[in-house]
């Protein structure tokens, strides 16, 4: 069946919203199950699980994108949503299987790649930036609302109900794709239907990275992106666990933190970014964003009180302007015929960081003994005296060592960014670069092969 109506951006928006709303509901229960399953090396295991998932997503995204060019988008939307949501019911059935399936689900956890290709099929070039923006805003909206709802339902009715509700929403998403989503790629547009061969070049996740050294300015931009996004990816994987276990936030406080930070980030990436780009220029906006990121990570690293985390979160929202500013800088300095090449390099580097960052953060937590060995999990924001005493004894000087490592990494990124010229043409070129300079890049997926000439859109930093 072809679905309901003709293909539209709204079909893609509903698919993304339902998938990430389901996962957002599980934010608080996941933190509880993670600590109960791995009480001795919680941060290390969390880093390894998220790191394996990120690396598998990085390696598989180009292949899945290439296959969707041949077999159509609808079947791969169904495949990626199914495998991304498959671990959800296992949370209450078997926590060990839950985390194992999360790790291997990275092979198919690239819904954004397929969604962006779906949007590219049905929009004109001048419409795509706005369409990608709508998809990204939907992702942000789902994560702004769902953790708070999940925390409330878990507190009142128990985590089992939250898992059942998340499973039901995931099944609703799968049914919506089966019944309502029409295929966006007509049969006549495909290279050869089911029998078409896929070349290694199409499926090679490192293809874009191999071109990094061809231009010195591209190299500077890519190094800046790597050094700044590596700690960001690690931070996303462990920070809410850090708030819950070390800073003794309640589930409700963690959910409120996510909501506030998400709303502030949306404001920063729209209104504030626009004002800064007009007033101080691209390069200075990048430097300002990196400066905010250094301050935020240092504050997280040395912060020992909950109010410090909230204050640093406000700074973190301002640091989210960095990557959109990088995209805009590249769009203005690159000529028309290799937009996809340079954007693909940056996207590939961010995808690689999504695998390396979480593992690195988990390992640093492990080295500095930031864990809760043989300690019960705090049941509320008041925590327990035993946990507080342990925390102060072990980490009185540096509560969060990985965040300080991240601050040093971003400081290096800032020094590298100082050497990026603001008005120099790049020698590695692609097509339609200037038309879509405001687009961002999605961190979980190297460029979707179905839209090689369109930069992908970054997730809003939540």
Same domain, 48 and 93: yes
Q: Say how many domains are in the chain.
A: 2
Placement of tokens 């209104």 in the chain = 271
Residue 120 lies in a domain: yes
Same domain, 9 and 90: yes
DSSP-assigned states of every residue in 21-63: HHHHHTHHHHHHHHHHHSSSSHHHHHHHHHHHHHHHHHHHHHH
**pLDDT the model gives residue 188:** 52
Q: pLDDT tens digit string along 286-327? A: 899 999 999 999 988 888 788 888 888 888 888 888 877 777
Same domain, 23 and 169: yes
**pLDDT the model gives residue 370:** 66
Same domain, 272 and 405: yes
Residue 348 lies in a domain: yes
Q: pLDDT tens digit string along 8-47? A: 888 888 998 999 899 888 888 888 888 888 887 788 888 8
Residue 272 lies in a domain: yes
Q: How many Å apart are CA 372 and CA 362, to the nearest integer?
A: 13
Same domain, 67 and 29: yes
Q: pLDDT tens digit string along 206-238? A: 776 777 777 788 788 889 989 998 898 888 778
Same domain, 298 and 405: yes
| Buried b / exposed e along 235-254 (16+ C-beta atoms within 10 A) | bbbbbbbbbbbbbbbbbbbb
Same domain, 19 and 168: yes
Same domain, 77 and 156: yes
Query: Who's near 102: CB < 8 A, 6+ residues apart?
Result: 49, 53, 87
Q: How many Å apart are CA 189 and CA 210, to the nearest integer?
A: 29
Name the helix (H) or strand (E) containing 74. Answer: helix 73-85
**pLDDT the model gives residue 66:** 76
Q: How many Å apart are CA 165 and CA 153, to the nearest integer?
A: 10
Task: Indicate the average pLDDT of the chain.
Answer: 75
Across residues 401-413, what is the average pLDDT?
91
Domain of residue 319: give its range: 211-371+400-421
% the chain with pLDDT above 90: 11
Residue 443 lies in a domain: no
Residue 149 lies in a domain: yes
* pLDDT bucket at 331, cuts 50 / 70 / 90: low
Same domain, 334 and 298: yes
Residue 304 lies in a domain: yes
Question: Residue 404 sits in a domain of what CATH number?
Answer: 1.20.1250.20
Q: pLDDT tens digit string along 187-200? A: 555 555 445 556 66
Rounded-to-10 torsion of CA 429, 324, 460, 353: 60
Q: How many Å apart are CA 243 and CA 406, to the nearest integer?
A: 17
The more confidently predicted of residues 195 and 343 is 343
Asked whether the predicted pLDDT for residue 245 surpasses 70, the reply is yes
Same domain, 287 and 174: no
Same domain, 115 and 222: no
């Amino acid at each position: 069946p072809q679905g309901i109506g003709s293909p539209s951006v709204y079909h893609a928006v509903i698919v993304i919203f339902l998938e990430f709303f389901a996962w957002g509901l599980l934010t608080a229960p996941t933190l509880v199950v993670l600590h109960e399953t791995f009480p001795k090396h919680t941060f290390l295991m969390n880093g390894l699980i998220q790191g394996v998932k990120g690396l598998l997503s990085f390696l598989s995204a180009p292949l899945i994108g290439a296959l969707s060019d041949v077999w159509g988008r609808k079947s791969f939307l169904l495949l990626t949503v199914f495998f991304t949501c498959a671990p959800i019911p296992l949370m209450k059935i078997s926590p060990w299987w839950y985390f194992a399936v999360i790790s291997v689900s990275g092979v198919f956890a690239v819904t954004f790649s397929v969604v962006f290709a779906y949007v590219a099929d049905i929009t004109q070039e001048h419409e795509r930036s706005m369409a990608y923006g709508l998809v990204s805003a939907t992702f942000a909206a789902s994560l702004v609302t769902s953790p708070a709802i999940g925390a409330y339902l878990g507190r009142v009715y128990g985590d089992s109900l939250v898992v059942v509700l998340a499973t039901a929403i995931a099944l609703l998403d799968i049914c919506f794709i089966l019944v309502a989503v029409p295929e966006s790629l007509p049969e006549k547009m495909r290279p050869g239907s089911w029998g078409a061969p896929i070349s290694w070049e199409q499926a090679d996740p490192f293809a874009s990275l191999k071109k990094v050294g061809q231009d010195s300015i591209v190299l500077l931009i890519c190094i800046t992106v790597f050094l700044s996004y590596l700690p960001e990816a690690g931070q996303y994987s462990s920070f809410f666990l850090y708030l819950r276990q070390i800073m003794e936030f309640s589930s409700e406080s963690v959910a409120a933190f996510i909501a506030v930070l998400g709303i502030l980030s949306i404001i920063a990436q729209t209104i504030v970014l626009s004002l800064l780009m007009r007033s101080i220029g691209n390069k200075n906006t990048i430097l300002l964003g990196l400066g905010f990121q250094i301050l935020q990570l240092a504050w997280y690293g040395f912060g020992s009180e909950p109010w410090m985390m909230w204050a640093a979160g406000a700074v973190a929202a301002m640091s989210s302007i960095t990557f959109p500013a990088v995209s805009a800088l590249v769009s203005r300095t690159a000529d028309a015929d290799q937009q996809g090449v340079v954007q693909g390099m940056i996207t590939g580097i961010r995808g690689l960081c999504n695998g390396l960052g979480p593992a690195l953060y988990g390992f640093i937590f492990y080295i500095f003994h930031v864990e809760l060995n043989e300690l019960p999990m705090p049941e509320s924001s008041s925590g327990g005296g035993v946990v507080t005493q342990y925390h102060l004894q072990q980490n009185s000087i540096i509560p969060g060592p990985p965040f300080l490592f991240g601050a040093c990494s971003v400081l290096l990124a800032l020094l590298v960014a100082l050497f990026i010229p603001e008005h120099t043409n790049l020698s590695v070129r692609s097509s339609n670069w200037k038309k879509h300079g405001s687009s961002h890049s999605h961190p979980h997926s190297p460029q979707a092969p179905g839209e090689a000439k369109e930069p992908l859109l970054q997730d809003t930093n939540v």
